[in-house]
Amino acid sequence: MSISRRELLLASAAGLLARPAGSAEKTAPKPFELSPLPTDLEMPVEGFVDEITPTESFFVRCHTYTPQVKMSNWKLTIDGLVEKPLTFTLDDLKKLPRAEMTAVLECAGNGRSFYEPHMSGAQWKFGGVGNARWAGVRLRDVLQKAGLKPGATQLLLDGADEPLGKMPDFQRTIEVRKALDPDTLLAWEMNGKPLTPEHGFPLRLVASGWAGDSWVKWLQHIEALDHDFDGFWMKTAYRHPSHPVAPGTAVDAKDLIPVTDLNVKSVIAMPGEWVKPGLVAVQGVAWSNGSPVAKVEISDDAGKSWKTAKLLGNGTKYGFRKWTYAWTATEGRHSLIARATDEAGRAQPMQEDWNPSGYLWNVAQPTSVLVSAQKPATPVVAPPAAGITAPEAYKAACMTCHDDHMMRQQRMTRAQWEKELDKMTGWGAPLSATDRPSIVDYLSSQFKP
Ligand SMILES: Nc1nc2c(c(=O)[nH]1)N[C@H]1C(S)=C(S)[C@@H](COP(=O)(O)O)O[C@H]1N2
Ligand SMILES: [Mo]
């Protein structure tokens, strides 16, 4: 019995066909730098062919420098509104029942660069997300040992990373409700190995279904509180409007609520920017907030019509679900769109509601593919136009905590740069009133919308 080309294509996309003997193992794509220090690394879209993201490909997001935690003096302290304040070594934690979870970790700011008007922050495209196998203990098993007192409503989580200059320490709270969820873990393993320093060695929170800002790394202190915590990273950052707002407008603090759940989303990994005509496997992954992916649809006509993609494997509650679609590619330039729907009935929108910090982007986004028999010549990239050189004071004021990767990613108006300078001088950037105008001129002419 012969199998059709379409079936063969689907089987090969699913990884169901044996690799020919001696074929090279595919190497995991390396993430690229948005900023080397503090370290922000993004996974290229090729990474979305894997259900489990290899640790070497996994995105990294650090607000400050990665601390080098020594096991000899690391411990986890639990105090505040508990019956019995406790400290744990990693060996103590390992005596509790082991818990494992496959879950997507996605930065709340993933996709920020696509928002118009642009806003400040790490300019993620697609790859501020990955799916890993996490292992450790349930947070609720640890909390049970200490015994939460009745009034406790929030848990304040603090890692070993230290702020630079006068920036506020990265401290986050999660509601007790989320802490007691059996799917919330304290993990020491990622993909079967101890956490790497970038990903939070020795211990991090796994807030399954929630955006990355709650997944505190290098965790060393948990304090039970009976009130909302008003530190910068809870009260000001990681908040979005509770209702739609006009793009580019300022939003009143009272209308901003904390970011929690991820949105339903999909990414096209293959075929990339160019492919030969014929039957082509369009492949990628989809995920949501703990509601399994129910379907993925593909459009090659700007969303006028949709065809159902084939979901691969069994899927997990919080993980990536791989999908593939056999597409008949004809000569010309095409735009492909993938749109995921989860079991709760949430589907990716065709247009995103704008929010001031650029969180939770999940548009069903067109990707452009050129279908032609011949691979097009790589376009010659014109050298950047000679810009004005940075003023002397720029280096001393702005290049001590990080380099200009932070600035080069941004595309901001003069008014936005003014606000950014307020933030940075607040954090301790040594910028005199005399030097400021030339630096604003420089930044707003070089890194503009
Ligand atoms: N202590 C600490 N935890 C942290 C951060 C941080 O800067 N410090 N960054 C958070 C953010 S915003 C994200 S998106 C995730 C990123 O995790 P990763 O670097 O392992 O991908 O870690 C979170 N946990
Ligand atoms: Mo993040």
Structural domains for the chain: 5-21+262-371 (2.60.40.650), 32-258 (3.90.420.10), 392-446 (1.10.760)
Ligand 1 pocket test, pick from 215, 222, 232, 234 with the greatest ligand atom count within 8 Å of Cβ, gives 215
Q: For residue 429, how far is its CA from the centre of ligand 2 (angstroms)?
A: 23
Within a 13 Å sphere around the CA of 242, how many CA atoms are in the beta-carbon half? 7
Q: Is 219 helix (H, G, I), strand (E, B) or coil?
A: strand
SS3 295: strand
**Closest to 317 in 3D by CA, of 350, 341, 293:** 293
Residue among 189, 191, 213, 221 to mutate when testing ligand 1 (max atoms within 8 A of CB): 213
User: pLDDT tens digits, the chain, 449 residues: what are they?
Assistant: 445 666 555 555 555 444 344 444 568 899 999 999 999 999 999 999 999 999 999 999 999 999 999 999 999 999 999 999 999 999 999 999 999 999 999 999 999 999 999 999 999 999 999 999 999 999 999 999 999 999 999 999 999 999 999 999 999 999 999 999 999 999 999 999 999 999 999 999 999 999 999 999 999 999 999 999 999 999 999 999 999 999 999 999 999 999 999 999 999 999 999 999 999 999 999 999 999 999 999 999 999 999 999 999 999 999 999 999 999 999 999 999 999 999 999 999 999 999 999 999 999 999 999 999 999 888 787 776 677 789 999 999 999 999 999 999 999 999 999 999 999 999 999 999 999 999 999 999 999 99
The answer to whether 102 touches 319, Cβ cutoff 8 Å, is yes
Match 């000569």 to its residue by tokens: 331
| CA of residue 217 to ligand 1 center, whole Å | 6
How many CB atoms are located within 10 Å of the residue 196 CB? 15
The ligand 1 site (C-beta within 6 Å) comprises: 58-63, 105, 107, 159, 161, 170, 198-200, 212-213, 215-218
